[in-house]
């Protein structure tokens, strides 16, 4: 990696990739994030939308079991959301870079509301079947594949550069809060009636749609006189962009490996707690404390992001996880395990904030949707493979050995992260816009 890339553009190099007309129109200094009307509207709408989605994800398997009694078909419906999101991820990222991003987000909320209305009516008329549930699940997955990169790509246009870390962290807190509230609501609403959680989902998407209508998102500059390329070539362009930038490659590796091994670790711990006779109520507390730790960590992330250098923050989080994860072998109380979960979950949001801020500010606007698509697919694969890896470890090894295997994998990633010259030269997020990707070199 050249010194110019680490500190700023080389003499005579092209200007930073993202200083487009649309970005220049956006103020570089703005009031506090809480006073940013447009971000506040987006955030509020999406925390409700996330709660509706999580409520549906709890209600889906309960509904399938009530209709068919088949656990396998329950898994099919729930899995259809993740599969659709993965399959649509890369094309969705390319389409987000083609289409107006606010319209993409509005369309996704509207389509999900219509799909949920159809399911509510089918349940009211007594005609709902597994096939309809799969269709609704696929619609949800495709809409999330489109919405998430559209929102992420819009963030640097909605807030000032200095607000991006706080916005990224608040979005993470929003997701955790929505998941926690939706998970708690799902079972309760289903007990009131089979269609009630899906009716709540309709209201959640309508609320998010209305909130989005009033968001003022600065327009993007028109493409410089060339027709859109073939969709496949645009997808490859996005993949090449991520692969050719060393810092993007390394940060994607950090996030994916952490998601993979921690997903496996989480399942191993749940199984180990069950084997040790921890009551199901305490296991529920463990899961809740994991979510609470994530919310608190997201709230603290902007402060840690400001106080620590990117390399120290990212490497420090990995070292802390390496030291904390083996402790589960010695913990037999569900409540104490919940405390350990909360501490572990508190740490990653700070590193994720630093990584995501750099990725957004460094990537040119016309590639941000494809960046989001790549990150969504790689993160989704890690989240899907992690539990499978955890299940295999539980079957192959005694519980404590499975825990230590996951901890050893995290330790290996920690060593690679610590020794990475690319990460040691990682710039502050505020410098990301000043870097010229043409000066980036493979280490």
The pLDDT tens digits of the residues spanning 381-431 come to 888 888 889 889 988 999 899 999 999 999 999 999 999 998 888 776 555
Q: Tell me: do 243 and 355 sit in the same domain.
A: yes
Estimate to the nearest angstrom the gap between the alpha carbon of 84 and the chain centroid: 16
Q: What is the pLDDT of residue 39?
A: 95
Among residues 186, 218, 250, which one ends one of the domains? 218
CA dihedral 139, 140, 143, 147 (to 10 degrees): 180
pLDDT of residue 3: 35
Same domain? 130 vs 266:
no
DSSP 439: G
Mean pLDDT, rounded, for 39-45: 95
265 in the same domain as 175: no
Domain end, chosen from 218, 252, 271, is at 218
Poorest-pLDDT segment among 156-160, 216-220, 390-394: 216-220
DSSP per residue, 322-386 = HHHGGGGGG---HHHHHHHHHHHHHSHHHHHHHHHHHHHHHS-GGGHHHHHHHHHHHHHHHHHHH
- Give how many domains the chain has, as a whole number: 2
Note whether residue 69 is domain-resident: yes
Q: Are residues 213 and 264 in the same domain?
A: no
On whether both 238 and 341 belong to a single domain, the answer is yes
| CATH number, residue 265 | 1.20.1250.20
Q: What pLDDT score was predicted for residue 78?
A: 87
Same domain, 377 and 416: yes
pLDDT recorded at residue 226: 55
Distance separating alpha carbons of residues 377 and 263, to the nearest angstrom? 16
- The least confident of 226-230, 326-330, 353-357 is 226-230
Is residue 443 one of the residues assigned to a domain? yes
Residues 131 and 255 in one domain: no
Which domain covers residue 184, as residue numbers?
31-218
- At 436 the pLDDT is 45
């Amino acid at each position: 990696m050249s010194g110019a890339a680490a500190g700023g553009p080389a003499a005579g190099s092209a200007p930073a990739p993202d200083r487009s007309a649309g970005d220049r129109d956006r103020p570089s200094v703005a009031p506090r994030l809480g006073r940013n009307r447009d971000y506040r509207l987006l955030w509020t709408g999406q925390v409700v939308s996330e709660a509706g989605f999580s409520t549906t994800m709890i209600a889906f398997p309960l509904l399938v079991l009530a209709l068919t009694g088949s656990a396998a078909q329950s898994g099919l419906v729930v899995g259809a959301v993740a599969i659709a999101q993965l399959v649509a991820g890369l094309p969705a990222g390319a389409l987000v870079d083609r289409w107006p991003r606010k319209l993409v987000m509005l369309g996704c909320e509207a389509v999900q509301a219509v799909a949920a209305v159809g399911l509510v009516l089918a349940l009211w008329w007594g005609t709902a079947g597994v096939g309809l549930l799969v269709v609704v699940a696929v619609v949800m997955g495709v809409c999330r594949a489109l919405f998430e990169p559209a929102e992420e790509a819009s963030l640097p246009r909605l807030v000032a550069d200095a607000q991006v870390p706080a916005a990224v962290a608040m979005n993470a807190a929003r997701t955790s809060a929505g998941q926690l509230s939706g998970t708690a609501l799902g079972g309760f609403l289903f007990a009131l009636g089979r269609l009630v959680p899906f009716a709540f989902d309709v209201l959640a998407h309508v609320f998010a749609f209305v909130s989005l209508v009033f968001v003022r998102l600065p327009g993007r500059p028109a493409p410089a006189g060339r027709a859109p390329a073939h969709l496949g070539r645009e997808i490859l362009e996005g993949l090449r962009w991520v692969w050719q930038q060393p810092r993007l490659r390394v940060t994607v590796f950090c996030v994916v490996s952490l998601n993979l091994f921690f997903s496996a670790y989480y399942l191993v711990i749940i199984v180990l707690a069950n084997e040790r006779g921890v009551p199901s109520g305490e296991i529920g507390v463990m899961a809740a404390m994991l979510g609470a730790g994530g919310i608190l960590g997201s709230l603290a992330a902007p402060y840690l992001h400001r106080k620590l250098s990117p390399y120290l923050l990212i490497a420090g989080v990995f070292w802390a996880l390496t030291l904390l994860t083996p402790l589960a072998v010695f913990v037999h109380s569900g409540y104490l395990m919940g405390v350990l979960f909360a501490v572990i979950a508190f740490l990653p949001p700070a590193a994720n904030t630093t990584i995501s801020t750099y990725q957004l500010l460094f990537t040119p606007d016309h590639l941000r949707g494809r960046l989001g698509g790549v990150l969504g697919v790689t993160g989704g694969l890690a989240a899907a493979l992690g539990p499978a890896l955890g299940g295999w470890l539980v079957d192959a090894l005694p519980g404590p050995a499975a825990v230590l295997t996951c901890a050893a994998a995290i330790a290996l990633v920690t060593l690679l992260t610590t020794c990475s010259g690319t990460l040691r030269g990682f710039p502050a997020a505020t410098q990301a816009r000043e870097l010229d990707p043409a000066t980036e070199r493979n280490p």
